[in-house]
Structure 1
Amino acid sequence: MTINFEGQVAIVTGAGNGLGRSHALALAERGAKVVVNDLGGARDGSGASSDAAMEVVRLIEEKGGEAFAHGANVAKFDEVEDMVKQTMEKWGRLDILINNAGILRDKSFTKMDLADFQLVMDVHLMGTVNCTKAVWNIMREQNYGRIVVTSSSSGMYGNFGQSNYGAAKMAVLGFMNTLVLEGAKNDIRVNALAPTAGTRMTEDLIPAEIYQLMTAESVTAGALALCHKDAPNRMILCAGAGGYASTRLFETNGIFLPQAQQTPENVIAQWKTICDINNQSELETGGKQTEKFLTKAITYVQSEQ
């Protein structure tokens, strides 16, 4: 199977540098018309310039592709709306959204100013929400859409000095999980990419010899696998340095305690069984957990009658 995006329109946020740049160029190479979104700020979100985005547009057009740049700050919904409006006026449809824009304000939590926590949440989480909200109804009316959110191992597993970034990157997974349910009937598929790459976000954190292995292109191969016509749904794809894996959220079968035994001492006494990974399962919705616990309770009540 050869993946191509002929006739499709994609928005890639944070596409002036790093992963976003790689995603935008690869989509265009395979036929997509691309909106190259980039505020043009520094790694910490300060400043703004259109130079990087315009360079990506130039590279796409030189190869015969179609693209335009837009400097919307993803944390500002009115600017995102303008970007989507211009996209629809120019090309009349919108098939793919890759939420890639991000910044870092790393500090240990004890030293972190709450303004830095809020700003990272605004860009990573609300930026993803804003862009997705702006395209959602268009995709519903088309009965087609592919959305990628960008998560991180820092959110799924933690990373010292990144409480703000980690919180935002875990939050986008919760956002994805519900959108998967709400978008299914209109063939809107939502997936998450958890990348590891050598970009300006990581260049001073990784030794040079290892940095060379962590190409943006290796991550982009995963990104495109998540947004093509036959893409999966609700996948968390981890990608970096040529490695690809999936992260899944499972819940153990757990235990049941009758009402008279529902004490913290009895919960602790059953800790080993509670954590037993045999018969664990991936729950489709939050309600499935309630259903499981109620089934245990009802089964117990019936056995006592």
Structure 2
Amino acid sequence: MGDATGATDAPEPLGFDGQVAVITGAGGGLGRAYALLLARRGCRVVVNEVGLRHGDDVPTAESVVAEVEAVGGVAVADTHDVITAGADVVATALDAFGGVDIVINNAGIGAGTPIGPDAADEWRPTIDATLQGSIAVTGAAWPSLEARGGGRVVMTSSCAMFGASTTPPYSTAKSALYGLTRSLAGQGRRSRISVNAIMPSAYTRLTRSLPDGPMKQMFAEHFPPEAVASFVAWLCHPSCEVSGESFSVGGGRAARVVLGENRGVRLDDEADPAGWGALVDDLMATDEVVYPRSMNDEVTWQAHTLGRPVPAELGPGGALDWDRRPR
């Protein structure tokens, strides 16, 4: 039984015996924490990381594999670049373990410059490492997930999705993962492939690079990577029925993050631009917000608020999951 604080009786431990996980960017921080936790629970792990440890000649991926083996786990190292060789990352899993059940897209870089004439070129490395790398690895693993009767994919978004004026390319790439997650979850539904995203807060190589100050100190004191790893493990377990969602995760806390829309306003004289200004208070209101779950849901919501007839098969309880309920 639970109580008012949210405490419950201890659940059964989640095991991953026989499962295979590909974890990108697993040479440290969050990826390393995922690899160790899953391996301790019986999962066989592909530790993907490009490059060497700082000041050492041992590939980072191999050093994490050694840690996994030290706790009794099974893992193999992979040093392919997720951007240019996503299929090779997955091939490592297929060659070593015969398939893939879990993909955790953790690789990415946090860098960026302000918008300007050269932004398209300057932003490309950040967008490619975060977005294109996730697409490449997930796409390469998808046939194996389907062949094995389903699986789990986790994308790594960021609270930068709420806006990050100091690093707009990072915010842009992480925001794109929200739509990618929703779309792939819809595609994967028939194949029992669940796709979710996390927006983690953790003290990692990225946050250690923050300037000294209260923000960096807060990360160091309150947001260990291990506190995110347990939530990711739950998302990756066959018992988890959640799909298409994004969660802010850190410090032992998780919260659903949603894209909502209010009821909107309607202009009687559609040719008068000034009329919109007179409706700005209602336009910006948040007292009634709904959460469409797909592009089609949003369009039918528009039709509904305009008083247009909505085909019965598109309404609540029909073929589409249309969540109109204010919460």
TM-score, normalised on structure 2?
A: 0.83
Say which SS state the counterpart of residue 37 (structure 2) adopts.
helix
Q: Which residue number in structure 2 is paired with residue 204 of structure 1?
A: 209
Deviation at 1:221, TM superposition (A): 1.8
For 1:26 and 1:202, the matched residues in 2 are separated by 21
* CA RMSD, Structure 1 to Structure 2 (Å): 2.4
Q: Which residue number in structure 1 is paired with residue 187 of structure 2?
A: 182
For 1:172 and 1:209, the matched residues in 2 are separated by 28
More deviation in 156-165 or 269-278? 269-278
Deviation at 1:82, TM superposition (A): 2.0
Deviation at 1:128, TM superposition (A): 0.4
Q: Which residue number in structure 2 is paired with residue 303 of structure 1?
A: none
Does the CA-based 8 Å contact 1:38-1:50 persist in structure 2? no
Aligned with residue 141 of structure 1, among 138, 147, 170: 147
Residue 262 to residue 220, structure 1, CA distance change in 2 (3 Å): farther
For 1:178 and 1:24, the matched residues in 2 are separated by 27
The letter for the 2-side match of 1:292 is W
Question: Any gaps of 5 or more consecutive residues in structure 1?
Answer: 301-305
Q: Which residue number in structure 2 is paired with residue 65 of structure 1?
A: 73
Deviation at 1:37, TM superposition (A): 0.3
Say which SS state the counterpart of residue 185 (structure 1) adopts.
helix
Residue 253 to residue 222, structure 1, CA distance change in 2 (3 Å): same
For 2:52 and 2:71, the matched residues in 1 are separated by 27
How many aligned positions are there?
293
For 1:263 and 1:146, the matched residues in 2 are separated by 49
Deviation at 1:212, TM superposition (A): 3.2
Residues 116-170 of structure 1, C-alpha deviations (whole Å, 9 max, x = no match): 300001100000000110011211222211000000011x211232111000000
1:10 maps to 2:21: yes
Within a 5 Å distance, the mapping from 1:156-305 to structure 2 comes to 156-205=161-210, 207=213, 209-210=217-218, 211-231=220-240, 232-258=242-268, 260-299=269-308
Say which SS state the counterpart of residue 82 (structure 2) adopts.
coil
For 1:6 and 1:222, the matched residues in 2 are separated by 18
Does the CA-based 8 Å contact 1:39-1:49 persist in structure 2? no
The letter for the 1-side match of 2:115 is F
Question: Any gaps of 5 or more consecutive residues in structure 2?
Answer: 1-10, 310-327
For 1:188 and 1:297, the matched residues in 2 are separated by 36
Query: When you count helix as a share of all residues, which structure comes out higher?
Result: 1
Does the CA-based 8 Å contact 2:40-2:72 persist in structure 1? no
Does the CA-based 8 Å contact 1:222-1:237 persist in structure 2? no
Residues 236-265 of structure 1, C-alpha deviations (whole Å, 9 max, x = no match): 11112333222111111113334x445322
For 1:51 and 1:177, the matched residues in 2 are separated by 35
Does the CA-based 8 Å contact 1:16-1:37 persist in structure 2? yes
Say which SS state the counterpart of residue 54 (structure 1) adopts.
helix
1:127 maps to 2:157: no
Residue 243 to residue 49, structure 1, CA distance change in 2 (3 Å): farther
Does the CA-based 8 Å contact 2:78-2:92 persist in structure 1? no
Say which SS state the counterpart of residue 248 (structure 2) adopts.
strand
Does the CA-based 8 Å contact 2:86-2:136 persist in structure 1? yes
Residues 47-66 of structure 1, C-alpha deviations (whole Å, 9 max, x = no match): x9762111111111122211
Residues 63-90 of structure 1, C-alpha deviations (whole Å, 9 max, x = no match): 22111000010111xx221221231232
Say which SS state the counterpart of residue 295 (structure 1) adopts.
helix
Residue 270 to residue 226, structure 1, CA distance change in 2 (3 Å): same
Say which SS state the counterpart of residue 226 (structure 1) adopts.
helix
